[in-house]
Amino acid sequence: MSDHVRFPIEGMTCTSCASRITRAVRKLDGVESVKVDLGSDSGDVAFDPARTSFVAIAAAVRQAGYEAQIERVEPLAPSAHRSLLGRLGRLGLGRR
């Protein structure tokens, strides 16, 4: 099972910045996907917590020259789970 998180990133000014962060995080063992969004100054990362951690991801962002705001990390449900939760909610079976 993988963890999926979103976090703010400080210091990006262009698409090259986003690409640099993406490459740095993607190199970590256990990272399954990375999406860095310059428009929202954030990164979404799915990773295997048995092989890496958010602390290691934040360190990779820092080594690339940017700052991951680890105190504002937001856990995300994987897209398959979000889809299932949406379907259950429409059926009146979602969270109560």
**Taking the domains of the chain in order of start, what are their residue ranges?**
3-90
The band of 77, judged by pLDDT with boundaries at 50, 70 and 90, is confident
Closest CA to 9 of 33, 50, 76, 19: 19
Chain-wide mean pLDDT for the chain? 86
Q: Is the pLDDT of residue 65 over 50?
A: yes
Q: Measured between alpha carbons, how far is residue 41 from residues 13, 19, 31, 34, 52 in Å? A: 9, 13, 20, 14, 23
pLDDT given at position 90: 54
Tokens of 32: 């399954």
Q: Is the pLDDT of residue 91 over 90?
A: no
CATH architecture for residues 3-90: 2-Layer Sandwich (3.30)
pLDDT given at position 82: 46
Which has the minimum average pLDDT: 17-31, 41-55, 79-93? 79-93
Q: What proportion of the chain, given as a percentage, has pLDDT over 90?
A: 72
